[in-house]
Structure 1
Amino acid sequence: MSFEASSRSRFNDADYAIFRQFLEKSCGILLGENKNYLIDSRLRKILSDQKISSLADLVRLVERRGNELLRQTVIDAMTTNETLWFRDRHPFEYFSSTLLPELMQSSDVVGRIWCAASSTGQEPYTISMCIDEYRKKNPLVRRDVSILATDISAGVLEQARSGVYDSLAINRGLSQDRLSRYFKALPNNQWEVKPEIRQRVEYRQLNLKDSLASLGRFDVVFCRNVLIYFSTDLQAEILRKIHGVLKPNGHLFLGGSETPKGLSQYFSMRYYTPGVIYQKK
């Protein structure tokens, strides 16, 4: 598969191919055909700052020892961070109405949830809000749940840890009721997630291509809308590793359009209206 450089492209086919191979090797992202414009727009400032005119030269530079920060900056620039509160709604409704009550009845002291691609924090904070709402409706339930939120991008993790969002981000999926209950108003039309929601969430940088052994075991994994960026083989490998960190009968949420190879080998499907969740075999 090769890039076809258009008249608007800054680089030749060979340059695009070299960068595409670097990106897939580094973080698993598989750029499709005709994505030259994406590379051009997202790397323009980096190339200008580094006074580099060739993608091949950029790849050579980031692969040198001591240039880890520049390498991370390039990966951050190429990572898609589309996210919103209660995205698609029904997975979180099912989590709150069905999975969370099951989880709260477990004998483990603390339940564990992993958000595998947390971006700027909307998903893990959404889950934390669901847990808080459940506990307030069920005051006799003593068990709590911790959330591990990971992402490959250091930049989005820094923003997520801050828990501060502007009005544009707040207005994407968050009800006025939850805004008033779970956020503190700040100057300049910004909002901060309250401590009782933030304290459940631990953020950690992680490349899904790497080993997951150090993460521990989880009751539920959210890996939504991230596998679509990877090759078929890498999708299957990540599913195998997620299966390995799930507790017996643990559950996996994927994005609505994600049905990667290898699912049936490791998971059985548990249907709900209008979606599906995957349970560890």
Structure 2
Amino acid sequence: MAGARVLDLTSPNGDTLSQTAFCDFQRFLHEHSGITLGDGKRYLVQSRLSQILPETGLGSLDALIEALVRGQLPEKVRSRIIDVMTTNETFWFRDRGHFELLKERLLADLSRQRFRPLRIWSAACSTGQEPYSIAITALEAVREGRLPRANLRIVGTDLSQQVLKTAAGTVYSDLSLSRGLPEAIRQRYFQPHANGWRLKPEVRALVRFQPFNLLKPCTALGRFDLIFCRNVLIYFTPETKRDILQRLAAALEPGGYLFLSSTETLAEPVAALQPLSLRGTWIYQRPA
């Protein structure tokens, strides 16, 4: 009979994270990013923080977390810790039905109602695929005669400074482009670059990036006609999720729309958001 498998909780550099330090880190991450780490994520924390430990001069992961909780780490190191714990994968035109609805109906409808550039917010945008997919969708709508011009401004935000740096660089590898990007779109909106493919200026001009924590008030960002907040609320507690949704609703212009991911629904109603099913896609509108 085979022996019982023993779970190795030693980090790659040979250090072991204590349960007490792990619990301290769970509380820290929740307080500063809203993310709830499950009890089974102890090895993940060890693995990711072990990448940073050599930069600090501290002797152990427990000492690193103690310094973090006490506010004794430089801001650069603190930002790196949040970066490695919040970086998520993404791909182009995720939930394709959202982009079809955007191109075929919403951009034209909203443009007729607004005598100014449309403002669109891509929250938790990671390395930029979502806001650039929005920009390309608008340019495709112009090319197909659905819009007279791409009169919009897109703001991409994320808690992680590192992923925003990648997004602002606008250069993507062949592997990245293979994840959801049609070949015709690559040919139309990308140009060869030494490190892969770079977005053309007409796409880059529509998007800007800035760091933002979804736990903070949205007022500094202004009001938006469309907000994309997809595949991120699943990391928050129900109470935090409800608070974020209420603030997102307040950041919408009357008549504006909120996109969640196709797998997310509102566990309970948000007073300022009306669920709508448009062409088989569920979205949420702030009534005009």
Answer whether TM exceeds 0.5 for this pair.
yes
The 1-side partners of 2:238 and 2:221 are apart by 24
Aligned CA distance change for structure 1 residues 140 and 14 (closer, same or farther; 3 Å): closer
Q: Which residue of 2 aligns with 1:73?
A: 80
Q: 1:119 is aligned with what amino acid?
A: S
1:13 maps to 2:19: yes
Say if 2:18 and 2:62, in contact at 8 Å, map to a contact too: no
Map 1:21-36 onto structure 2 (within 5 A).
21-36=27-42
Report Cα offsets for 1:59-97 as digits up to 9, x if no partner.
332343661111100000001321000012111111111
Q: Which residue of 2 aligns with 1:216?
A: 222
Moved more, 260-269 or 37-46: 260-269
The 2-side partners of 1:33 and 1:66 are apart by 25
Task: List gaps (5 residues or longer) in structure 2.
Answer: 1-5, 11-15
Q: CA deviation at 1:265?
A: 2.5
Q: Which residue of 2 aligns with 1:40?
A: 46
Q: CA deviation at 1:53?
A: 4.7
Q: CA deviation at 1:44?
A: 1.3
**Where do 4+ consecutive residues of structure 1 move more than 6 Å?**
none
The 2-side partners of 1:58 and 1:65 are apart by 9
1:247 maps to 2:253: yes
Q: Which residue of 2 aligns with 1:166?
A: 173
1:206 maps to 2:207: no
The 1-side partners of 2:274 and 2:62 are apart by 44
SS of the equivalent of 1:258 reads coil
Report Cα offsets for 1:24-51 as digits up to 9, x if no partner.
1111111112011211221111123324
The 1-side partners of 2:20 and 2:60 are apart by 10
The 2-side partners of 1:174 and 1:250 are apart by 27
Say if 1:223 and 1:255, in contact at 8 Å, map to a contact too: yes
Report Cα offsets for 1:215-235 as digits up to 9, x if no partner.
111000000001111111110
1:108 maps to 2:115: yes
SS of the equivalent of 2:90 reads coil
Aligned-residue sequence identity (percent) comes to 38
The 1-side partners of 2:21 and 2:72 are apart by 21
Q: CA deviation at 1:54?
A: 4.2
Say if 1:235 and 1:261, in contact at 8 Å, map to a contact too: no
Aligned CA distance change for structure 1 residues 140 and 71 (closer, same or farther; 3 Å): closer
Say if 2:87 and 2:163, in contact at 8 Å, map to a contact too: no
The 1-side partners of 2:150 and 2:102 are apart by 16
SS of the equivalent of 1:35 reads helix
Report Cα offsets for 1:182-239 as digits up to 9, x if no partner.
0010124x00000100101010100111111111110000000011111111101111
The 1-side partners of 2:150 and 2:264 are apart by 32
Map 1:227-246 onto structure 2 (within 5 A).
227-246=233-252
Aligned CA distance change for structure 1 residues 65 and 213 (closer, same or farther; 3 Å): farther
The root-mean-square deviation of aligned C-alpha atoms, in Å, is 1.9
The 2-side partners of 1:56 and 1:243 are apart by 40
Aligned CA distance change for structure 1 residues 247 and 61 (closer, same or farther; 3 Å): same
Say if 2:119 and 2:224, in contact at 8 Å, map to a contact too: yes
1:196 maps to 2:202: yes
Q: Which residue of 2 aligns with 1:137?
A: 144
The 1-side partners of 2:51 and 2:149 are apart by 51
Q: 1:177 is aligned with what amino acid?
A: A
The equivalent position to 1:87 in structure 2, one of 84, 94, 108, is 94
Aligned CA distance change for structure 1 residues 140 and 177 (closer, same or farther; 3 Å): closer
Q: CA deviation at 1:135?
A: 1.5
Q: Which residue of 1 aligns with 2:13?
A: none
SS of the equivalent of 1:265 reads coil
The 1-side partners of 2:118 and 2:274 are apart by 21
Q: CA deviation at 1:257?
A: 2.1
Report Cα offsets for 1:253-279 as digits up to 9, x if no partner.
001222244444331111134430011
